[in-house]
Structure 1
Amino acid sequence: MRDVERQLDSVADTGHSALHELIGRTKRILTQRQKDKNKLYALHAPEV
């Protein structure tokens, strides 16, 4: 994860925001606990 964040600066501006959003979702999934409310279940469909 840290490697991807470090390489984020080398990504073109058009994909930069989408990749940043995906990293945020990934961190949220990795840090959520079993009894947390408003869990994120799918990276591709955050509304699920």
Structure 2
Amino acid sequence: MRKAHHQNDMAVMQAYEFTKGSEAYKSEAACVAELMKLYQKKVEEIEKR
């Protein structure tokens, strides 16, 4: 199960182009924070339409 979770984490990192040097790689919490920033940016773009 841990291996599958890790593989999923790596797939998400790759999909969002988070590199090993990025903030998102530091911890799961940092990754979630970066994903939430992207989400908020997208919501703001949609609301401007």
Task: Report if TM-score (shorter chain) is over 0.5.
Answer: no
**TM-score normalised by the chain length of structure 2:** 0.43
TM-score of the superposition, structure 1-length normalised?
0.44
Which structure is higher in RCO with an 8 Å CA cutoff and minimum separation 6? Answer: 1
User: Which one has a larger percent helix, Structure 1 or Structure 2?
Assistant: 2
